[in-house]
Structure 1
């Protein structure tokens, strides 16, 4: 949230006093905020991405200013900065000027709830979610907030060129890019082939992944890319952008494409639709790739980083 006098006072005055009063050895922040004064504690912070630098203007200017101010403070005073991916570690070094010796890598994990469901489990979830139950099985799925960097406008245009009746389902919190995606679908005459779903809880997402024929992630920028692993864990073939952190997450178990090219996105979709052996291979290998990323590993690595600062 944007800077506020009360929260600033807590972060930069109350928190350091508390750390000093309790002789804290370390303070770990999970998201880009650290106190300017240490209170005698080592300060460790995670920076998930540097979106305001890569996509200026995507957020309200006050929010971008708040984020950039906190990023710069982290770069100046943090004893260690944790990155979710090597791609983000590189950006923290190049954009914020943080020495490599202060940047540490802790990959994220996928929750074990994301898995292949048996028919009874799937039926129980769908019983209370008619908006999902009504979808034809085997649709093309994309999940994420509707903001410009998710690249839905190119996905919609690429999909429009395909001669297919397989619907495209876009699910995620409504954002500034949804209206433009809907308008583009209307202009291209494919509105009836698209389904727009809003925010879904974990069970809703789990059902979607299990019902989808494939999952496509056309993002142009990510700090990690959890939806890729969630889909893989459910045995859903993944098509994803070859950009930022995504190759680290997907490994060799996804069909990758250039997210800036509508033609490349369309070709990836075409291969999924007309090369069933490719889809079968990706579905088979996905759960094994996802199993490499666990929150237990993330926690253990984070603990190592904190201990190394003491």
Structure 2
């Protein structure tokens, strides 16, 4: 029996972040064709405990490298990464995001026979915040070495176009695959009414009481996520609970207080099963982002049968047009409220065939096939 080619996925976020969940999903995506392990780059910010292994991370083939932060990791991760890679001797080294691209040259030197591949979601950290010292540093020292990789995987045609312009890598080996949907957690429910009936008790257990509906958003605390529009919706519908899953910041807290909102709730650090329960119990999922490289949360919500509305922007339009309502401009509060009113009035319906086609396009099997074809193609170069 011919041994499988070995893939090492390098990830610096825990499995309760979108990148960490993605690393686990990619491990499941690739395992049939490759011998896959995960190399976690751990910092106290994302792995606060000494063992730092969340339940969903246990049982995997994995190793861990530690640093006090990603900034100190610029120096501290390099030597142990090279040592680990030499020991693992992978065929392909797959970096989960370009912000850890500074380790690509290290990997190439440590394993000159291996191919380095970077998954590029977007270039927002590099291009949207030109006056931020933090993002200038990230761009110059952390992300720019991504261009030295042997190949690139993109989550959308939009991300590919932006990345090729920014990194100057047009014409280099690449594949547009999308992101895999983990059907173990996110799958269509045949009886949405069951979850609607249980919504009040689900919400009450979380301290959310006295509201006639639940509207959900999952997002990073970044300006491009347009969280203000989500909060403006809450201002207009005080009898509905608006739940955001994501890190709470002083700015977001200020926006909530300025609007004097009593119907907004925040949760963070949720494992996939709990995130799924929010999707299932929500009356509507809202993604009002100005910019998105893909849009995994609305895909997960659609897979759970939840009504979804997105901004008609960037990759959201590319991926979800014709499947769910799209609102333009992205900060058109009334546009989202109109969809919400349709949902509550029972006028919202998905086209079952379009939903099935979307979920098949981003299924683990489909993404696995695309990645496998691409990985073998660069190994033949």
TM-score (norm 1): 0.81
**Matched residue, 2:3:** none
* Residue 216 (structure 1) shift: 0.8
Q: Which among 145, 168, 172 is matched to residue 220 of structure 2?
A: 145
User: CA 1:277–1:123 in structure 2 vs 1: closer, same or farther (change >3 Å)?
Assistant: closer
What per-residue deviation string (whole Å, max 9, x for no partner) do you get for residues 253-309 of structure 1?
Answer: 111112543xx2322322430476785313856752334311222222122211111
2:206 match: secondary structure: helix
**Matched residue, 1:266:** 334
Describe how 1:1-310 pairs up with structure 2 within 5 A.
1-4=70-73, 5-11=75-81, 13-14=82-83, 22=89, 24-32=90-98, 33=101, 34-36=103-105, 38=108, 39-40=111-112, 41-56=114-129, 61-62=133-134, 65-75=137-147, 77-112=148-183, 113-115=185-187, 116=189, 119=194, 130-131=205-206, 134=209, 136=211, 138-160=213-235, 162=236, 165-186=239-260, 191-192=261-262, 194-199=263-268, 200-261=270-331, 264-274=332-342, 279-282=347-350, 287-288=355-356, 289-310=358-379
User: Using CA pairs below 8 Å that are at least 6 residues apart, which structure has the higher relative contact order?
Assistant: 1
1:111 match: secondary structure: coil
User: CA 1:154–1:280 in structure 2 vs 1: closer, same or farther (change >3 Å)?
Assistant: closer
* Residue 144 (structure 1) shift: 1.7
Q: How many residues are treated as equivalent by the alignment? A: 296
User: CA 1:279–1:151 in structure 2 vs 1: closer, same or farther (change >3 Å)?
Assistant: farther
2:348 match: secondary structure: helix
Provide the alpha-carbon RMSD of the alignment.
3.3
Q: How far apart in 2 are the matches of 1:57 and 1:99?
A: 23
1:2 match: secondary structure: helix
Query: Quick check: 1:81–1:103 contact (8 Å CA) kept in 2?
Result: yes
What per-residue deviation string (whole Å, max 9, x for no partner) do you get for residues 207-266 of structure 1?
Answer: 2222222111011222211111111111111110111211233131111112543xx232
Structure 1: any 5+ residue segments left out of the alignment?
none
2:299 match: secondary structure: helix
* Residue 175 (structure 1) shift: 3.3
Query: Quick check: 1:106–1:301 contact (8 Å CA) kept in 2?
Result: yes
1:36 match: secondary structure: helix
2:71 match: secondary structure: coil
1:99 match: secondary structure: coil
Structure 2: any 5+ residue segments left out of the alignment?
1-69
Greater shift, 25-34 or 240-249, is seen at 25-34
Greater shift, 269-278 or 294-303, is seen at 269-278
Greater shift, 47-56 or 232-241, is seen at 47-56
Q: How far apart in 2 are the matches of 1:141 and 1:230?
A: 12
Query: Quick check: 1:15–1:35 contact (8 Å CA) kept in 2?
Result: no
2:104 match: secondary structure: coil
* Residue 94 (structure 1) shift: 1.2
TM-score (norm 2): 0.67
